[in-house]
């Protein structure tokens, strides 16, 4: 069998993995454990992930996917798989389907452990984690033998800062938003099993064993799409929310790696007098300034974990709420997934704003490979250069700050092509999300920078917001 067990953090997904794997001859894979293993053992992928984290960057999805793919390629043919907490998004669903298809496998069932939000808050509020081996404990349900000391390795136990009731509720909102489409996908494929995740550990384990026995004997009862919809989440805000409190020029910029988004964003912001919000810079700023969100993000990075979407979402919302974003912004690097697009719509609704438009800088894969193969980055200020299109005045030295220029390890042609696969898988649903609302404007990104900028400016000038006489940026045009 090849199965996945999903549910919110604290649902107990990993608690029964050893029993299930032993009984059904399954190989257990937890993406969190896999990521930590690569980082701690300094594998090639782990070193690449550490470089992103050291630079204050979010680790790209394709690196985690490459870790899973490498692991799957070594899987013995006679062994099934138990995916623990994966897939969590529709993008990960597509990745997993493609990966298993290449290995002549398929998911037989996805088990969703259903636990109420109130119970999850109660469970996580008392959770303790070992700083050394990451073993979980609970002040009520699974206390350590000696207070604050891990039974396994003697390491110190601590409560994660994101296990406060307020943060847990925020994470649950993100979980429901991202998991609803996953449940619907597997319900439509007749592969979703919903099990109650509350009760004693023995009761939950008995339900799981019963469900997998039935699956093995072709007697499993799969959930309907109506049953999946009943538990899946809070409805998201519409793509176009109610009219904004005032007209603003709020723009999302989409484009593949090396499409020139950053350069276009800088030129458009200078021309339109808008704020440029690059999520990579935003993430680094929060880490450098040790903001509350930056400290929270660092706790994940220090544990060798990926920073979850709810932290990134909160950073974006806090930035867009500042006074210098009053008249409008160009958002570069966010959203990357449909789930983040829904989150953006919801945060703009709370801020009483709405998107003016989405610019998609379209560049062919071949052109992107050529561009990135010659790209160089400043180690100090992250300014981009290119050996052909934008060379520095002095070879190897940044014009702006004098820092050293280097080529990123993931800017070789093979890695770029892998990143493009991930980009297309994530971006096509975004295009489908924004196009029906009349927000998407596709820009030809090939040719010189000035030509692309001219086409982008022409598209923005046709936004309805820009034609409003009360728009605060109209005078800038």
Closest CA to 189 of 226, 220, 227, 225: 225
Residues marked as catalytic: 261, 336, 375, 408, 419
Give me Rg for the CA atoms of the chain: 24
Helices 201-216, 17-24: inter-axial angle, 10-degree rounding: 30
Separation between Cα atoms, residue 224 and residue 192, nearest integer Å: 8
Burial class (CB in 10 A: 0-12, 13-18, 19+), 388: exposed
- Interior/surface letters 26-60, b for 16+ CB within 10 angstroms, e for the rest: bbbbbbbbbbbebbeeeeebbebbbebbeebbbbb
Residues 6+ apart with CB under 8 A from 363: 255, 256, 258, 259, 260, 371, 445, 446
* Contact between residue 334 and residue 340 where contact means Cβ atoms under 8 Å apart: yes
Q: What is the CB neighbour count within 10 angstroms for residue 369?
A: 18
3-state secondary structure of 196: strand
φ/ψ of 204, rounded to 5, equals -65, -45
Q: What is the CB neighbour count within 10 angstroms for residue 201?
A: 12
Bridge pairing between strands 127-130 and 136-138: antiparallel
* Contact between residue 257 and residue 204 where contact means Cβ atoms under 8 Å apart: no
Separation between Cα atoms, residue 101 and residue 354, nearest integer Å: 40
Closest CA to 443 of 357, 359, 336, 366: 359
Closest CA to 240 of 433, 65, 48: 433
3-state secondary structure of 27: strand
* Contact between residue 175 and residue 112 where contact means Cβ atoms under 8 Å apart: no
Closest CA to 70 of 47, 43, 97: 43
Closest CA to 267 of 391, 361, 340, 353: 361
Residue with tokens 């917001």: 465
């Amino acid at each position: 069998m090849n199965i996945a067990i999903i549910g919110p953090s604290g649902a107990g997904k990993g608690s029964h993995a050893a029993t299930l794997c032993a009984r059904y001859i399954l190989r257990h894979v937890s993406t969190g454990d896999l990521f930590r293993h690569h980082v701690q053992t300094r594998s090639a992928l782990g070193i690449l992930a550490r470089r992103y984290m050291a630079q204050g960057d979010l680790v790209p999805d394709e690196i985690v996917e490459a870790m899973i793919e490498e692991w799957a390629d070594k899987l013995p043919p006679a062994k099934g798989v138990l995916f623990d907490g994966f897939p969590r998004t529709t993008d990960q669903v597509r990745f997993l389907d493609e990966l298993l298809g290449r290995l002549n496998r398929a998911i037989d069932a996805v088990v969703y452990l259903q636990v109420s939000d109130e119970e999850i808050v109660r469970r996580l509020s008392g959770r303790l984690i070992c700083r050394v081996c990451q073993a979980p404990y609970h002040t009520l349900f699974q206390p350590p033998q000696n207070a604050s000391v891990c039974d396994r390795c003697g390491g110190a136990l601590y409560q994660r800062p994101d296990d406060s009731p307020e943060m847990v509720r925020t994470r649950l909102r993100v979980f429901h938003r991202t998991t609803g489409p996953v449940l619907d996908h597997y319900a439509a494929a007749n592969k979703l099993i919903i099990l109650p995740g509350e009760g004693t550990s023995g009761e939950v384990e008995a339900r799981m064993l019963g469900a997998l026995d039935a699956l093995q004997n072709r007697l499993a009862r799969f959930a309907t799409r109506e049953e999946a919809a009943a538990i899946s989440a809070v409805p998201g805000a519409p793509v176009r929310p109610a009219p904004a409190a005032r007209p603003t020029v709020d723009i999302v910029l989409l484009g593949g790696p090396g499409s020139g988004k950053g350069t276009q964003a800088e030129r458009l912001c200078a021309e339109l007098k808008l704020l440029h919000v690059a999520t990579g810079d935003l993430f680094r700023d929060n880490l450098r300034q040790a903001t509350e969100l930056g400290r929270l993000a660092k706790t994940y990075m220090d544990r060798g974990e990926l920073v979850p979407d709810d932290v990134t979402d909160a950073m974006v919302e806090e930035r867009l709420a500042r006074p210098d974003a009053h008249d409008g912004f160009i958002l570069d690097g966010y959203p990357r997934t449909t789930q983040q697009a829904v989150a953006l719509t919801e945060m703009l609704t709370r801020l009483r704003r709405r998107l003016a438009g989405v610019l998609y800088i379209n560049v062919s894969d071949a052109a992107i490979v050529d561009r990135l193969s010659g790209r160089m980055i400043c180690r100090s200020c992250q300014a981009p250069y290119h050996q052909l299109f934008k060379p520095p005045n002095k070879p190897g030295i940044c014009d702006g700050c004098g820092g050293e220029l280097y080529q990123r390890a993931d800017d070789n042609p093979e890695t770029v092509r892998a990143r493009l696969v991930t980009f297309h898988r994530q971006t096509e649903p975004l295009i489908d999300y924004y196009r029906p609302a009349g927000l998407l404007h596709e820009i030809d990104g090939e040719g010189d920078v000035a030509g692309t900028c001219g086409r982008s400016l022409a598209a923005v000038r046709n936004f309805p917001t820009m034609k409003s006489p009360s728009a605060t940026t109209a005078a800038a045009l």
